[in-house]
Structure 1
């Protein structure tokens, strides 16, 4: 199949000369080696009052070709602003934006996540004056954490009563509320957020411990779990969890099932959640300068974020549904 070739300026000059002499379309087409329909369309499109001007026709053709490039992927300003707000303010990924939109609209797609990614790579949702690091692209999670390779810690080990291999099947199956994964987000300061994520609903609870010590972490755990369904807790073997027996003995206490040493993937839910927290509190954050209210505000934003693993429902929604159906 032959590819269409636009008329050149020279061909338009020849059309103008022959048309001015009242020569027919067939003769003009034969003279420039073009199809009769091409010449006929050209004269009909660019002729005025029976006359055809080559310069004006070429100018209009150049303008049309300049304007015929691809449309911006987010050509609707309101849609672009909404996408930007969701990514920058709510820290949602393009897939979460797309999935939640389909869920709320009965499966109807407003803008696909692949379209959003292409638009972000083209810089479309950002205003022209935006600083790249503060714009949409700078807010997306582009890489996971590298696995830490280090020397085996020899400063003493905590005593554990149960290992993760002994955990009840219901906890492994994520079939009920109350199976929590436990961790702490450590920074350069003594203070640190304690993060606890429910395996079934992905609900994040916890709070800021005043120090990265087992006593302060245990206090934060007890506060976070008060009034919640309690079945199991799965932490790693960090020394901040050395007071786990105090938490187990507290009113409504809960048994702890520890990961094997250097096996963080045995508590994947809270590890993934910590990655979400790092979007708000990057590595190196001094948590002594972060208030309890700021930590809880971030936790609530994460709990209100649509999650692909939950069918683009939020952790808050799934937790409430499971709590009421129990």
Structure 2
């Protein structure tokens, strides 16, 4: 049917429905509804990756990646769901189905529990009209409703030139001496849209105030000017969200993190680590390891020194007995350049770690090497081979959760008295490490009733070495 064939009354109503809103571009294939987008951003907020969130809500991962990149990693819409005042996408789907079945306006209204006028306006205003006649489709109707509901607000930094210059100067200002002489600093690479916190490379010297510092300082500098007020969140949004047009995107290089996209905090806790599988997470550790009543459950970690030097620390949870593991650099360390994806020649590569830990643990009786709890470090990525050779099952604590290895963390603090940070730990021999461990193990502990870990560990050894005595009635 051509538009000219439509009755004049219907065409007049179409013009009236569109009179109060600007012309809309053809949506092509309309974007997914805001319900889908909210679900996507909620999954991102819980720490999911862009690919995982995209597949979970039913969109392709390139679409989800584009959403995340264009929004700067920040949700561009409110995550709070809409109130029942407005039609939802599900209700629009019901309207489309009922309309296709030939239901009348009042029948649809009764089925949805809505006013008939609401349904009538929905069918007129948000119907697809590309073919010259009104045809109601839920996706097009949802897109039209979302477009009409937009109330774009101009960012404060766009309209207030003085405030924008103030913010830019504190982010990107020149470093100067006390006499205002400019200091250029080192030459740095140009910003390429990626994270500008290079490893072992120079960064550009700027004043680099944080958004929070700027937000609070502007109140002190302009106490009587209410127009000179901005929240730190508004500054972050101006930096990260494309299309705001207030601050140049390159200014993200002035932030301490230097990242080009805002990263949800929960995502940093859920970074995939291939060596940590579902069967070796802390929740799978035997319950007897938690109450410390049964000996043979250990906690382990590294204390790090300069030049890729480290010392392995093992602490038995019940007796608090400590073992120190020497981790010498492998042959060729410092003599030939490292090979990409090649073996680590430093003291705590996976191969060196496995060999040293296996040598230390196999000196213990089998009954006293049941489990080992480690952090998420990749130095123990060969834990399966270690468990096979020693019979000690390895479990990994949750990311950023040192309190799940409390005995080991406390012991590492004690050991820093002997091995301070910033010193070379590879210079100590196995005999010297054994002497330090002996000193630690012979300190009386309040938690042990002022016994020493060495005394408690000796009692454990005596118990497991006593022959079983058969009992009779």
State the match for 2:327 in structure 1.
Answer: 209
* Structure number with higher helix proportion: 1
State the SS of the aligned residue for 1:288.
Answer: coil
State the match for 1:242 in structure 2.
Answer: 381
State the SS of the aligned residue for 1:287.
Answer: coil
Question: 5 Å matches for 1:104-119?
Answer: none
Question: 5 Å matches for 1:276-291?
Answer: 276-291=414-429
User: Which residue of 285, 288, 297 corresponds with 2:435?
Assistant: 297
User: Which residue of 324, 333, 355 corresponds with 1:219?
Assistant: 355
Give the TM-score of the pair, scaled to structure 2. Answer: 0.36
- CA displacement at 1:296 relative to structure 2: 1.5
For this pair of structures, how many residues does the alignment match?
A: 176
- In the alignment, the residues of structure 1 paired with residue 402 and residue 350 of structure 2 have an alpha-carbon distance, to the nearest angstrom, of 19
- Deviation sequence 1:21-41 (CA, Å, 0-9, x none): xxxxxxxxxxxxxxxxxxxxx
- In the alignment, the residues of structure 1 paired with residue 372 and residue 321 of structure 2 have an alpha-carbon distance, to the nearest angstrom, of 14
Unpaired runs of 5+ residues, structure 2, are 1-264, 329-346, 465-473
Unpaired runs of 5+ residues, structure 1, are 1-148
- In the alignment, the residues of structure 2 paired with residue 325 and residue 289 of structure 1 have an alpha-carbon distance, to the nearest angstrom, of 37
Contact 2:276 2:396 survives alignment (8 Å):
no
State the SS of the aligned residue for 2:294.
Answer: coil
- CA displacement at 1:190 relative to structure 2: 2.0
State the match for 1:143 in structure 2.
Answer: none
- Deviation sequence 1:65-113 (CA, Å, 0-9, x none): xxxxxxxxxxxxxxxxxxxxxxxxxxxxxxxxxxxxxxxxxxxxxxxxx
State the SS of the aligned residue for 1:289.
Answer: coil
Contact 2:327 2:426 survives alignment (8 Å):
no
Question: 5 Å matches for 1:49-68?
Answer: none
Contact 1:157 1:239 survives alignment (8 Å):
no
State the SS of the aligned residue for 1:256.
Answer: strand
Tell me: higher relative CO, structure 1 or 2? Use CA pairs within 8 A at least 6 residues apart.
1
- In the alignment, the residues of structure 2 paired with residue 188 and residue 258 of structure 1 have an alpha-carbon distance, to the nearest angstrom, of 25
- CA displacement at 1:244 relative to structure 2: 0.8
- RMSD over equivalenced CA pairs, Å: 2.0
- In the alignment, the residues of structure 2 paired with residue 314 and residue 224 of structure 1 have an alpha-carbon distance, to the nearest angstrom, of 21
Contact 1:194 1:208 survives alignment (8 Å):
yes
- In the alignment, the residues of structure 2 paired with residue 302 and residue 214 of structure 1 have an alpha-carbon distance, to the nearest angstrom, of 27
- Deviation sequence 1:194-234 (CA, Å, 0-9, x none): 11100000111131112121111111211111132111110
State the match for 1:310 in structure 2.
Answer: 448
State the match for 1:57 in structure 2.
Answer: none
- CA displacement at 1:156 relative to structure 2: 5.3
- In the alignment, the residues of structure 1 paired with residue 356 and residue 324 of structure 2 have an alpha-carbon distance, to the nearest angstrom, of 7
Contact 2:326 2:433 survives alignment (8 Å):
yes
Question: 5 Å matches for 1:1-326?
Answer: 152=268, 157-160=274-277, 161-210=279-328, 211-228=347-364, 229-250=368-389, 252-326=390-464
Contact 2:282 2:398 survives alignment (8 Å):
yes
- In the alignment, the residues of structure 2 paired with residue 278 and residue 204 of structure 1 have an alpha-carbon distance, to the nearest angstrom, of 14
- In the alignment, the residues of structure 1 paired with residue 363 and residue 436 of structure 2 have an alpha-carbon distance, to the nearest angstrom, of 21
- In the alignment, the residues of structure 1 paired with residue 274 and residue 399 of structure 2 have an alpha-carbon distance, to the nearest angstrom, of 10
- CA displacement at 1:169 relative to structure 2: 1.6
- In the alignment, the residues of structure 2 paired with residue 247 and residue 212 of structure 1 have an alpha-carbon distance, to the nearest angstrom, of 15
Contact 2:305 2:421 survives alignment (8 Å):
yes
- Deviation sequence 1:151-176 (CA, Å, 0-9, x none): 94969553333111121121111112
State the SS of the aligned residue for 2:393.
Answer: coil
- In the alignment, the residues of structure 2 paired with residue 237 and residue 222 of structure 1 have an alpha-carbon distance, to the nearest angstrom, of 19
